[in-house]
Amino acid sequence: MKFFIDTANLDQIAEAQDMGILDGVTTNPSLMAKEGITGQENIINHYKKICELVDGDVSAEVISTDFDGMVKEGEALAALNEQIVVKLPMIKDGVKACKYFTDKGIKTNVTLVFSPGQALLAAKAGATYVSPFIGRLDDISTDGLNLIAEIRMIYDNYGFETEILAASVRHTMHVIDCAKLGADVMTGPLSSIEGLLKHPLTDIGLAKFLADYKKGNS
Ligand code: E4P
C-alpha cells in the first residue's frame, strides 16, 4: 500500500518524507489556500518545492471545469516535473480530459469520486488514480469504506489498472481499514500516519528494556 500525505504544508511533507515511508503527496485548492498559497505564480512555485521534497507522485489539481481549460492547465502542470499527476474533477469534461492525458502518457488522478459508477468511468478513461472520498461520505452518514470495497470488486472483476487512492482519510483506523480492503494508496494527514506508530505495550516495553539496560550498565 502506498502512503501519500494530503497537505500543501511543506514542514509536514518534509516530516513524512524523513520517516522514509512516504510515496507521494496530494493537494487540492483548499489545501493550497489553507497554506496561504495564492496567485498562479506562487502556486506553481509551491508545486516545484513539493516535488523537490519528495521522491514520488505529486497530485496538482486543475481549476478549469471545461475540457480545453483542463487540457491547457494540466499540460502546464505536467511540464513542471515528471512527478506531477494531473488531478481532474469527476465531471464529464474531466473524464474526457482524463482520456486525453492517458493517451499522452501523462498521469492522472480523478478526484471527488463518491460512487462506484464514477470510479468505473475513471477506470474506463484510463486514470492512473481514482480518489474516492471516504471521510466526506462518513460525514453524511454513508459508509465511506463500503465504497472502497465496491470499487475494489469492480476493478478486480475486469482487471482495471487504475489505482484506488483512498482519499479524505481522516484518522488512523481509516488507514488500517483501507489496507484491509485492498486500497492501493491512501492519502491522509500526517496524524493519520503517525497514529499507526502508537501502542501502549510498545512504550511500556521500551521503557522496561531501557531501565533494565541502565541497571546492568550503571
Ligand atoms: C483528496 O485528494 C483530497 O485532497 C482530500 O483527501 C480531501 O479530504 P477532506 O475531505 O478531509 O477535505
Contact 95, 121 (CB under 8 A): yes
CATH class of the domain defined by 2-216: alpha beta
- Is 87 among the catalytic positions? yes
Arithmetic mean of pLDDT, 7-35: 97
d(C-alpha 153, C-alpha 9), whole Å: 34
* ipTM over 0.85 threshold: yes
Mean pLDDT of the chain: 97
Q: Specify the DSSP class assigned to residue 81.
A: -
Q: What residue's CA is closest to ligand 1, atom 10?
A: 168
What pLDDT score does 14 carry?
Answer: 97
CA of 207 to the centre of ligand 1 (A): 37
CA of 121 to the centre of ligand 1 (A): 20
pTM of the model: 0.96
Q: Which residues contact 33 (CB under 8 A, 6 or more apart)?
A: none
Whether 192 lines ligand 1, by a CB cut-off of 6 Å, is no
What does the domain layout of the chain look like in residue ranges? 2-216
